[in-house]
Amino acid sequence: MATFYDQIGQNRRNSVLLSLAVIVLLGALGLFIGWAVTGDPAYALPSTGIAIAVGLVASLLSYYLGDSLVLASSGAKEVTEQSQPQLINVVREMAIAANVPMPRVYLIDDTAPNAFATGRDPQHASVAITIGLLQKLDREELQGVMAHELSHVRNYDIRFSLMVGVLVGSIALLADFFLRFTFWGGGRRSSSRDRGSGGGGVQIVIFAIAILLAIIAPIMARLVQLAVSRQREYMADASGVELTRNPVGLERALAKIALDTEPLEAANRATQHLYFENPMKGVSDRKSDLFSTHPPVLDRINRLRALAGSPPVAQPAMVLDPRAQATLGGS
């Protein structure tokens, strides 16, 4: 039986490999664009380095401001122990268990149950919780959600996801620049120059590869980004169980949030990947959906049940109503 340590190790390896794939894709795009635009392979390596450097610099700049922007766009308001004693107590418990500093705690005035963590490192972390989460979850379930979110903090998932996101954005910008450059005649001038110097055949091939990469690279990078996001969710679930030693609370929280049909108005497509569960209720939850920011809830629940040695369930509602499981088993 797989332990949460096995799951954490596997998901960490998968996330690193996927992130390296984004960097390689950015470098490849820079290489072929540099070669295609200049017509000289000697410029390919410098353009590759510039492409990667721009992506990394953009990542470093953005994560210093990213948490403030996310909290502001969500309408989150900071709370204290005087205004929300139980919430602060639960967050403090999980912060101690995770061995991270106490994060700043924010409340979102929305009755849809959800939460997210943000910040560039454990020393500058914040957690935001909706009013609906406090109203609809009991203490054990709230502990599970907070353990999951503080696992994101402890595992540096927020920094990790933000950097990958900016790299993906850099790929899209670089591809868009090249396609516009080609459309306005830059490619034709480059090809004509190379035919005059005798390297037309090779240059046409390189230019075709560059155009193809510019079209498919943003799509591929986005798919990799979403795959990274799903892996980090699995990892935070496993780490959350490590903190609480109780997969049932997290399992029940997942089921309750998944079954709640109310959309989270404070969320948008730019921030949906940060939340405990996908707040965009219209998004498909099928396992085959490559464009989902979160793993299927049922898959997450059954992974948690496997950690506890419990049999899998066929639907989230069975977690909350054992009679449904018994009826299904006897039918």
Q: Could you list the active site residues?
A: 149
Which tokens is 258 given?
């998944």
Q: How many other C-beta atoms can be found within 10 angstroms of the C-beta atom of residue 194?
A: 21
Which tokens is 227 given?
């795959």
Q: How many other C-beta atoms can be found within 10 angstroms of the C-beta atom of residue 134?
A: 17
Place of tokens 């994101």: 152
The amino acid that residue 22 corresponds to is V
What angle in degrees, to the nearest 10, is found between the helix axes of 157-183 and 44-73?
120
CB 146 within 8 A of CB 253: no
SS3 30: helix
The amino acid that residue 3 corresponds to is T
SS3 109: coil
SS3 241: helix
Q: In angstroms, what CA-CA distances link 60 with 53, 63, 95, 148, 240?
A: 11, 6, 26, 25, 28
20: exposed, middle or buried (Cβ count in 10 Å: 0-12, 13-18, 19+): exposed
CA 268/CA 7 separation, integer angstroms: 29
